[in-house]
Chains A and B, each alone.
Chain A
Amino acid sequence: MADSANGPKPSSSVKLVLLGEAAVGKSSLVLRFVNNDFQENKEPTIGAAFLTQKCNLPTRTIKFEIWDTAGQERFASLAPMYYRNAQAALVVYDLTKPTSLVKAKHWVAELQRQASPGIVIALVGNKLDLTNDGSGSGGDAESAGGDDLGDARKVSTEEAKTYSEEEGLLFFETSAKTGFNVTEVFTAIANAIPETSLKSARGVAASHAAGRAEEQRVNLNGPRDPNAKEGCAC
């Protein structure tokens, strides 16, 4: 990063948008990430909220400019305004609600079709605290629940993970309530943003980051291998 500002580490802004069905926990994820806070029964977002938060990586600082959008259908037509020029997107679904994954897939498709070509997309299954893996403190929430007793999980980890791999998305299961995996999502995104797209605020000629949920292992150096669909924008 040649154009480093004042700090010891170079810093750059990343525009990130959150999309997903209503009431899956988009705002709660942001609130957890930005304020490390959680509110039960949070009222629905109206329109969109704009927040910023810094994310420190070993070699640089990423300043996220986050658009937290409202999930209700009537706001859908405004979404392009928020994901236009976005370098990253968090598409959120609710682990306890299968229809929310369907909606999430629609958003992914729309982003791949219409957003900046280099956009880094993370698929996030939220409300892990409602499932049996919810209390799991560290590592992966790998066990595919679904029919365990007292488990509200309705979307298996495999299903979403397979889909993410097919589409080249980052994939996480999180709990905004307990804070599990939340920072990891953002760190992984920060790592997955190609440096080239950081220089200009736009994602020009950035190759698609196809991180596979191994957040810390994403290599920062140079563009990612061009196995992604929209490798190059002209």
Chain B
Amino acid sequence: MDMDTDTDSAPPTMQTPPPPPPLPPRPPRRSPSGGSLGLASPGDALGNLLQLQVAPATTAVSSIDISTLSFPDGSRGTFSRTASRTTTRAASATASGYATPTHDTLGALGPLSARVNLADGSDSMSLMSFAPTLRPPGDLASLVAGELNRKSPAWMLLRSQSATVQPFETSVERGPSTTSALAGFESEFDDIPDRSAVTADEDRLALWKAKLKHYMILSSAGKPIYSRHGDLGLVNSYMGIVQTIISFYEGAQNPLLGFTAGNARFVIATEGPLYLVAISRLGESDAQLRSQLDALYMQILSTLTLPTLQNIFVHRPSTDLRKPLEGTESLLSSLADSFTRGSPSALLGALECLRLRKSQRHSINNAFLKLRSDRLLYGLIVAGGKLVSVIRPRKHSLHPSDLQLIFNMLFASGGIKAGGGENWIPLCLPAFNNRGYLYMYVSFFGDESSPGSPGSARNKPAAPREAAEQPHPPSSPLSSDEGQAEQAEEDEIAIILISTDKESFFELKEMRDSVAHQLAKNGSLAIIKEAVRSGRPSVAAIAPGVQISHFLYKSRANVQFCMASLDQPAFGGGSGSIASSSSKMVARRRLMSLYHELHASMHAKHSHLKVLHCVGDAAASLAWITPVFEFYCVAGPNISRALVTQGANKIVQWARREEERLFIIGGGVF
């Protein structure tokens, strides 16, 4: 495990630091010996090399070697930077882009050990001085030494190529053994068959238990309300058990928040008369699971409003809430599945925007504002699940969690799109006001060249989105339901107009028609479509030469994020792969799991981390948090820390340079 953290804000400022050379490997904590250097068996060349790399470690401890990257707005990020003398000495090692010889074995510990390290490394810098002097006990170091000895010549050759290893490549090759955490994920979203003569209850239960993730909602009286998997007949008894456990602790005035059973983590949220339970074997942190449960609860509030929900249970605690919630199961499930699949948006609590030039967004905003109806509260244009434009009253802003519900309703679940036409939907936006309904006008733009015929919106065939998003020829015709849903999601442009007045449908419809007309006339619609078609940028397009495979960048002030294109073999996309839809899904989840781990480490209580660099045997990753942004990226396992940080810097610089294109800053205000 190679990790380091910079917790102190360091002195002088360097606007553009030279690419920081790699820091030497950090041996595992509790290395048996204190400061002296030297390897156990440095007889061979590689051993010497290792020693060279290790040696400078002590020199880097001094704070002079920490450089700070500061930004115009006063925020700064710190990087450890070894002094130049170190650079030259380590150059031989870095030349190949290989600087962490211990990655292979130490990395196997995974990010989990990173967290452990953090926990006891109050002065984390001191970790650096734990250089391996003797061969450390246990298998860690002996594996290092042994492997290096054994593989000398060929390994050297191999190493020179190593930087090009893609993240997760090894785990893909090795198959299920290493991906055991995701074993069975392919069938995660398959339905459990209905009770019938063919399928015995035991088989159905086995299928049910094989799911990696469960969400259950029940009333505090123990009445089942919702379960992601299995019909309630099947899981009723389990709900009863859950209710018993929870109420036992409730009775003791000591609410149960979560527990672990085997490799499954149970997290419980009590929201008034409801118990929400998440059961995960996907390694998410409690905080992450809790925020997922919170989103499900918000979905319920969005259907009922808080006073209604409370009234229902005040009058009859044993009410079956399934009836009032009838028809929203699919919304809950699509929300739950987006979490299980791994949603960057949910993870970061942020929204993604369509990348547009500032002037283009400005003209869309202006058209939108100018044609605004008096009864409008919020107006949104959304394309491919990404925000294009927002207009809002000066004193109100839109909360991301509310928008997440709207996006889920519009794009993830097929209810609205499929019906066609224009929709008029009463809904409660809980973060805006959980006590009352708003009315939402929704219409999808079709390929209509003549605006004003929204009815034709759904006539348009679902264009093969995949082909458009990829710069390469489309990978394979295979695509799952999920893939298709994603495709469909990506090429829809919707206009959403929200009012407090339930009678304002026709007024808003009129506004929609004139906005559509105006956008078509001034070419904005074509621009939006083009932007949707070109998709997310690849890392190569953003920062040529950077070896980072994927990143997430969240602008904290704007509560928005952007990310790199997922169309790479490592994540199941791209031309190189003949990945089936299920392996694509697994690859996507693997990436998202890594991001979840990074995110959990960064946001763990009491860990005031700014930078976290992890190397595992499958991938190297870096998380970097400043007051302005959160940045997470993933690279191949053999990429040196220097290259990762260098790449991270380039991408962050790009994101900040492009800020007004990537994000909606403020939106149109009236």
Interface residues of A (CB under 8 A from B): 22, 27, 30-31, 34-35, 39, 42-53, 66, 68, 70, 72-75, 78, 81
Asked if A35 contacts B459 (CB within 8 A), the reply is: yes
Neighbour of A22 across the interface among B327, B423, B458, B505, CB < 8 A? B327
How far apart are the CA atoms of A78 and B509 in the complex, in Å?
18
Neighbour of B423 across the interface among A46, A53, A73, A74, CB < 8 A? A46
Count chain B CB atoms within 10 A of each CB in A22, A53, A72 and give the residue with the most: A72
Q: Which residue of B lies closest to A45 (CB)?
A: B419
Contact A44 to B415, CB < 8 A, known contacts A22-B327, A72-B327: yes
Q: Is B482 an interface residue (CB 8 A)?
A: no
Contact A50 to B418, CB < 8 A, known contacts A22-B326, A35-B458, A81-B503: no
Q: Is B100 an interface residue (CB 8 A)?
A: no
Contact A72 to B455, CB < 8 A, known contacts A27-B419, A49-B419, A78-B502: no
Residues of B within 8 A of A31 (CB): 419-420
Neighbour of B413 across the interface among A30, A43, A52, CB < 8 A? A43
Asked if A44 contacts B420 (CB within 8 A), the reply is: no
How far apart are the CA atoms of A35 and B419 in the complex, in Å?
10
Residues of B within 8 A of A75 (CB): 426
Give the Cβ gap from B669 to chain A, nearest Cβ, in Å: 28
Residues of A within 8 A of B424 (CB): 47-50
Give the Cβ gap from B228 to chain A, nearest Cβ, in Å: 16
Query: B residues 85-109 with Cβ under 8 Å of A?
Result: none
Q: Which residue of B lies closest to A41 (CB)?
A: B414
Asked if A46 contacts B421 (CB within 8 A), the reply is: no
Q: Which residue of B lies closest to A27 (CB)?
A: B419
Count chain A CB atoms within 10 A of each CB in B326, B409, B414, B509 and give the residue with the most: B326
Q: Is B34 an interface residue (CB 8 A)?
A: no
Give the Cβ gap from A59 to chain B, nearest Cβ, in Å: 24
Asked if A68 contacts B419 (CB within 8 A), the reply is: yes
Residues of B within 8 A of A34 (CB): 420-421, 455
Interface residues of B (CB under 8 A from A): 303-304, 323-324, 326-328, 330, 409, 413-416, 418-427, 440, 455, 458-459, 502-503, 505, 509
Give the Cβ gap from A49 to chain B, nearest Cβ, in Å: 4
Please give 18 more A-B residue pairs, beta carbons under 8 A apart, in addition to A35-B458, A42-B419. Answer: A27-B419, A34-B455, A42-B418, A43-B415, A44-B328, A44-B415, A47-B423, A47-B425, A48-B423, A49-B424, A50-B423, A51-B455, A72-B326, A72-B327, A73-B326, A74-B303, A74-B326, A75-B426
Give the Cβ gap from A75 to chain B, nearest Cβ, in Å: 8
Asked if A46 contacts B425 (CB within 8 A), the reply is: yes
Asked if B327 contacts A70 (CB within 8 A), the reply is: yes
Contact A47 to B426, CB < 8 A, known contacts A52-B455, A72-B327: yes
Give the Cβ gap from B376 to chain A, nearest Cβ, in Å: 17
How far apart are the CA atoms of A53 and B420 in the complex, in Å?
12
Asked if B426 contacts A78 (CB within 8 A), the reply is: yes
Asked if A46 contacts B326 (CB within 8 A), the reply is: no
Q: Which residue of A lies closest to B421 (CB)?
A: A51
How far apart are the CA atoms of A72 and B502 in the complex, in Å?
18
Count chain A CB atoms within 10 A of each CB in B409, B413, B426, B503 and give the residue with the most: B426
Residues of A within 8 A of B414 (CB): 42-43
17 intermolecular pairs with C-beta atoms under 8 Å apart: A31-B420, A39-B418, A42-B414, A42-B419, A43-B413, A43-B418, A44-B326, A45-B419, A46-B423, A46-B425, A49-B419, A49-B422, A49-B424, A50-B505, A51-B420, A73-B324, A81-B502
How far apart are the CA atoms of A43 and B418 in the complex, in Å?
8
Asked if A46 contacts B416 (CB within 8 A), the reply is: yes
Asked if B415 contacts A45 (CB within 8 A), the reply is: yes
Contact A35 to B420, CB < 8 A, known contacts A45-B415, A50-B509, A74-B303: yes
Give the Cβ gap from B390 to chain A, nearest Cβ, in Å: 22
How far apart are the CA atoms of A66 and B424 in the complex, in Å?
12
Give the Cβ gap from A33 to chain B, nearest Cβ, in Å: 11
How far apart are the CA atoms of A81 and B425 in the complex, in Å?
13
Count chain A CB atoms within 10 A of each CB in B330, B421, B505 and give the residue with the most: B421
Q: Which 5 A-B pairs have the closest CB atoms?
A: A47-B425, A51-B421, A44-B327, A43-B415, A49-B421
Residues of A within 8 A of B458 (CB): 35
Residues of B within 8 A of A42 (CB): 414-415, 418-419
How far apart are the CA atoms of A73 and B326 in the complex, in Å?
8
How far apart are the CA atoms of A49 and B455 in the complex, in Å?
10
How far apart are the CA atoms of A200 and B458 in the complex, in Å?
31
Asked if A73 contacts B323 (CB within 8 A), the reply is: yes
Residues of A within 8 A of B427 (CB): 46-47
Residues of B within 8 A of A66 (CB): 421
Contact A44 to B421, CB < 8 A, known contacts A34-B455, A73-B324, A81-B502: no
How far apart are the CA atoms of A196 and B621 in the complex, in Å?
73
How far apart are the CA atoms of A184 and B474 in the complex, in Å?
45
Q: Which residue of B lies closest to A81 (CB)?
A: B502
Q: Which residue of B lies closest to A28 (CB)?
A: B419
How far apart are the CA atoms of A189 and B102 in the complex, in Å?
79
Q: Which residue of A lies closest to B440 (CB)?
A: A47
Asked if A50 contacts B421 (CB within 8 A), the reply is: yes
Count chain A CB atoms within 10 A of each CB in B409, B416, B440 and give the residue with the most: B416
How far apart are the CA atoms of A50 and B457 in the complex, in Å?
12
Asked if B409 contacts A46 (CB within 8 A), the reply is: yes
Q: Which residue of B lies closest to A48 (CB)?
A: B424
Neighbour of B327 across the interface among A30, A46, A53, CB < 8 A? A46
How far apart are the CA atoms of A81 and B504 in the complex, in Å?
11
Neighbour of B324 across the interface among A35, A48, A53, A74, CB < 8 A? A74
Residues of B within 8 A of A47 (CB): 423-427, 440
Give the Cβ gap from B382 to chain A, nearest Cβ, in Å: 17
How far apart are the CA atoms of A129 and B43 in the complex, in Å?
83
Q: Which residue of A lies closest to B308 (CB)?
A: A74
How far apart are the CA atoms of A105 and B81 in the complex, in Å?
79
Neighbour of B330 across the interface among A22, A44, A52, CB < 8 A? A44
Residues of A within 8 A of B413 (CB): 43
Q: Which residue of B lies closest to A50 (CB)?
A: B422
Residues of B within 8 A of A68 (CB): 419, 421
Give the Cβ gap from A44 to chain B, nearest Cβ, in Å: 4
Residues of B within 8 A of A39 (CB): 418
How far apart are the CA atoms of A49 and B440 in the complex, in Å?
11
How far apart are the CA atoms of A31 and B459 in the complex, in Å?
11
How far apart are the CA atoms of A72 and B304 in the complex, in Å?
12
How far apart are the CA atoms of A73 and B420 in the complex, in Å?
22
Residues of A within 8 A of B509 (CB): 50
How far apart are the CA atoms of A72 and B328 in the complex, in Å?
10
Q: Which residue of A lies closest to B503 (CB)?
A: A81
Residues of B within 8 A of A81 (CB): 502-503
Count chain A CB atoms within 10 A of each CB in B416, B418, B502, B503 and give the residue with the most: B418
Residues of A within 8 A of B422 (CB): 49-51
How far apart are the CA atoms of A212 and B303 in the complex, in Å?
40
How far apart are the CA atoms of A31 and B421 in the complex, in Å?
10
How far apart are the CA atoms of A48 and B505 in the complex, in Å?
11
Q: Which residue of B lies closest to A26 (CB)?
A: B419
Residues of A within 8 A of B418 (CB): 39, 42-43
Give the Cβ gap from A79 to chain B, nearest Cβ, in Å: 12
How far apart are the CA atoms of A48 and B423 in the complex, in Å?
6
Residues of B within 8 A of A74 (CB): 303-304, 324, 326
Residues of B within 8 A of A35 (CB): 420, 458-459
Q: Which residue of B lies closest to A69 (CB)?
A: B424
Residues of B within 8 A of A48 (CB): 423-425
Count chain A CB atoms within 10 A of each CB in B327, B419, B455 and give the residue with the most: B419
Residues of A within 8 A of B502 (CB): 78, 81
Give the Cβ gap from B298 to chain A, nearest Cβ, in Å: 16
How far apart are the CA atoms of A31 and B326 in the complex, in Å?
22
How far apart are the CA atoms of A50 and B323 in the complex, in Å?
25
